[in-house]
Structure 1
């Protein structure tokens, strides 16, 4: 149960307040029950090879920008791929079940496909001509309404003139209208957080789709970000309302076919586990599934 005291009471030492991330906000917009399964119940999910590949490619690009400018070439990026995969596997050994051992030819083909995405990246831009201010930047801010926003930005570029560009890598293909709106929701989230923390609206939001070598650039303005802020506040209030009773309702769509929790969904004859109650756990760092395109 949630009450006004529970929402404002000091948290015990070491416990972080519940926050809204772009991934979890997107989950609630898509399906409130999916939000509950992921953020409250914390039910396990099995990432796909494509999702894990996205995480590995992100890691390689982050490592690439940590190198001296002259070393950021395609061959060096390829050399970083295997170590990035090995480090992810060491951190999450269960991902090894995606393949039948190190000698699995499917693993070799998977790594080749990741290399192809890295090659595509170099066709979109030359990292030797860039010096980002930050990669994988953790950002957090509290809105005046009390909503805590938290997330990770793939890359922040700052021009000599001070203009800010936010960059997000997508390892899938450029989406159609619905997918594009979802991706831009994420970017507006980051733009709002950066505006509220630095007092400056990013000049450009850039989505780079590596699969088909396309980029999508967008310029937000203050009025739009203010409207978006109100949208996030409304989403959080809806989450709190559902949290008081555990009434996170399913919202069936074509995306249900890709949901690990479909067997537990009442819309398909399933029964969710008993509601564990609020408050929602801290969403923590991004997971492999948060890299889903």
Structure 2
């Protein structure tokens, strides 16, 4: 899709949850935190209320790196967006990310091996994901309206929705395509449902901001060079909007009482908080009360995959 209308204005914030003017932002619902609550209310509490630290994985950090490189790729003029140019960006982009999050270097320092050698092998894996992207489309034929677009809207019910879109394509005719890069494996039943939940979230936000139902929601799985495209309709987005409102009301009810219950399932093996989860014999920290957190702020890792 070619470049279209001007990007709708959105509220852009600092990582600390405050706007550039210094005012604290209202609590909001993001696709990651909404997905957390659907998966396990206690996981939501640990992340949005307790703000318990989580150790990043190499796969998560690699996803962050690849997303950053693709964003920079589209900042180049058409005709310069070649695979080799993108891969040349990997190391300098990684060094910049590492300057912001120096603790990520610890991922390569465990064990007896050479940390620099381990990091270079890891960068090679990121290069393969970049190649996977070029196997799916030619960026020289595209002119996105925006990359890493921060969007925010308030529903009629008062629920504030907030998130980041990897890429927004707008055709001269006004048709909208939402693109999201996935750096994990091709979708399976759980992963696909979670990813599509995220995409419908963005579709609702854009529909409410622009009055146009996105023509296509496109997931690009770079590791397997597979793409999944979906066309929503207005009736479906109305139903999904009600789902988001119900999730937010459930979050508020749990916040008042502290009753965030665990929901053990297949994804528990990837959870960083088993040590304090009752389902694994742990004891959660004392509930600090509902502090009106801002669960709409997504971390770099949230936005990567």
Per the TM superposition, whether the score is higher than 0.5 is yes
Q: Which residue of 1 aligns with 2:95?
A: 86
Query: Which secondary structure state, in structure 2, belongs to the residue aligned with residue 206 of structure 1?
Result: strand
Change (3 A) 1:76 1:148: same
CA deviations on 1:264-288 (whole Å, 9 max, x unpaired) are: 0111111111111113322364324
Distance in 2 (alpha carbons) for counterparts of 1:174 and 1:257 = 19
The question of 1:46 aligning with 2:55 is answered yes
Query: Is the 1:51–1:288 Cα contact (8 Å) retained in structure 2?
Result: no
TM alignment of 1:67-82, pairs within 5 A: 67-82=76-91
Deviation at 1:14, TM superposition (A): 1.6
TM alignment of 1:186-205, pairs within 5 A: 186-205=198-217
Large movers: runs of 4+ above 3 Å: none
The question of 1:223 aligning with 2:235 is answered yes
Gaps of 5+ in 2: 1-21
Deviation at 1:104, TM superposition (A): 2.6
Query: Is the 2:30–2:298 Cα contact (8 Å) retained in structure 1?
Result: no
Equivalent of 1:120, from 123, 127, 132? 132
Deviates more, 1:198-207 or 1:170-179: 170-179
Distance in 2 (alpha carbons) for counterparts of 1:105 and 1:60 = 21
Query: Which secondary structure state, in structure 2, belongs to the residue aligned with residue 282 of structure 1?
Result: coil
The question of 1:249 aligning with 2:258 is answered no
Deviation at 1:292, TM superposition (A): 5.9
Distance in 2 (alpha carbons) for counterparts of 1:176 and 1:85 = 29
Query: Is the 1:19–1:149 Cα contact (8 Å) retained in structure 2?
Result: yes
Deviation at 1:58, TM superposition (A): 0.1
CA deviations on 1:125-153 (whole Å, 9 max, x unpaired) are: 00000000000000000000000000000
Q: Which residue of 2 aligns with 1:239?
A: 251
Distance in 2 (alpha carbons) for counterparts of 1:288 and 1:257 = 22
Distance in 2 (alpha carbons) for counterparts of 1:57 and 1:218 = 23
Distance in 1 (alpha carbons) for counterparts of 2:61 and 2:221 = 16
Across the two proteins, how many residue pairs are aligned to each other?
282
The question of 1:158 aligning with 2:170 is answered yes
Structure whose residues are more often helix by fraction:
1
Q: Which residue of 2 aligns with 1:55?
A: 64
The question of 1:264 aligning with 2:291 is answered no
Q: TM-score, normalised by structure 2?
A: 0.90
Q: Which residue of 2 aligns with 1:145?
A: 157
Q: Which residue of 2 aligns with 1:273?
A: 285
Deviation at 1:214, TM superposition (A): 0.2
